[in-house]
Amino acid sequence: MAFPSRTAEIEVNVVDKKNAGSLSGWLNGLIGVVIFSGSLPATRVAVQEIDPLFLTFIRASIAGMLALILVLSFREQCPKRSQIGSLVIVALGVVIGFPLLTAMALQSVTSAHSIVFLGLLPLATAIFGVIRGGERPQFAFWIFSIIGSLLVVGFAFSQNVSISQTGDLLMLAAIVVCGLGYAEGAKLSRELGGWQVICWALLISLPFMLLASFTTLPVTPGSISPECWFALGYVSVFSMLIGFIFWYKGLAVGGIAAVGQLQLLQPFFGLALAATLLHETVSVLMVIVTLGVIACVVGSRKFAR
């Protein structure tokens, strides 16, 4: 009777661990995407009565105070000096840049329109995953990612929207800085851990965010409706902190380029929320484009490594 060799057993165990890690990465990434899907609809509600600057600063301040509690509770050691630069990039990308740019954009475009731009995030994240994370997806991966991106951009032009329009330019800039923040945070998560990265990025920003929140405080905060305060609470606790705990863990474990493709699902979830909560019109073409970019997840996932 032939018995499996020790080498064969080790190879099977390695494959099983890789599969488990990949599944864990995708599961965590999916949870993060679902949480992030409510960000733009909630921001759209908030900017109706809250200035975009104050919204950006106060959401980071609230999340930063929660991050401080987490770090102190778990007695986390301070990041190494060599990690500070990466944390600053994460802070500039996802704590300040993306929230501020999207809040400004949502003053002139609907959340349903802006959500479709999120279809560009997987490509941006993958590009920065190569530049900053050292990943090397296969050629076919880029084909699927580019097709998904072209579907999104083509939809924007089909709506008689000029790319020079302020809201669209702000959304495109938000996608770039967010992709960089995602990739940089994922790379650093392999050393610090997912929740530690977003917490330290928030803490680095906290002194500036608190000061900025005070200087941009609304004259009559009591006039802001409960709906806007609820939206502020969502983007502060879930979009700014909890979502990143799952998202960075997913990217670090499953791969930046691979798990990053799950962002193609975000427009689908976001459009559903926009239609349900904000009663915004979601056209048939918008749904078709969204389904098209979702289909790219299937193809790109196979060739992500």
Give CA–CA dist 124/225, Å, rounded. Answer: 36
Sketch the domain layout of the chain as residue ranges: 28-218+240-302
Give CA–CA dist 305/255, Å, rounded. Answer: 8
pLDDT in tens, 266-290: 877 877 777 777 677 777 887 788 7
- Give the model's pLDDT for residue 19: 55
Give CA–CA dist 2/264, Å, rounded. Answer: 48
- Give the model's pLDDT for residue 160: 61
pTM (predicted TM-score):
0.85
Give CA–CA dist 305/179, Å, rounded. Answer: 19
- Give the model's pLDDT for residue 13: 47
| Dihedral, CA of residue 9, residue 12, residue 17 and residue 23, to nearest 10 | -160
Residue 71 one-letter amino acid: V
55 phi, psi to nearest 5 deg: -60, -45
DSSP code string of 53-96 = HHHHHHHHHHHHHHHHHHHHHTTPPPPPHHHHHHHHHHIIIIII
Count of Cβ atoms closer than 10 Å to residue 276 Cβ: 11
- Give the model's pLDDT for residue 248: 95
- Give the model's pLDDT for residue 184: 96
Residues of the chain short of pLDDT 70, as ranges, are 1-21, 112, 115, 156-157, 159-164, 278, 305
